[in-house]
Amino acid sequence: MTTLAYLIPVALFLGALGLAGFLWALRSGQYEDLDGAAERILIDLDEPRS
């Protein structure tokens, strides 16, 4: 029973930390351009254009 007294606050703290990290990423624009990085990997900049 005493381990629950330690584990419940630790679990709540880690959950709040994860939520804070997600909200920080959301506000800083990490999810704005989801298709850009996926398409940017296909562009070869070393290829000469004609």
Distance between terminal CA atoms of the chain?
73
> Which is higher by pLDDT, 48 or 31?
31
Three-state DSSP class for residue 33: coil
Question: What is the rounded CA–CA span in Å between residue 30 and residue 16?
Answer: 19
CB 18 within 8 A of CB 26: no
What is the band of 44 on the pLDDT scale with cuts at 50, 70, 90? confident
pLDDT surpassing 80 at residue 50: no
d(CA 37, CA 47): 19
Please check the confidence at residue 28 and state whether its pLDDT lies above 90: yes
Q: How far apart are CA 12 and CA 42, in angstroms?
A: 42
Query: In a 3-state reduction of DSSP, which class is residue 38?
Result: helix
Q: What is the model's pLDDT at position 39?
A: 83
Kindly tell me if the per-residue pLDDT of 49 is higher than 80.
no
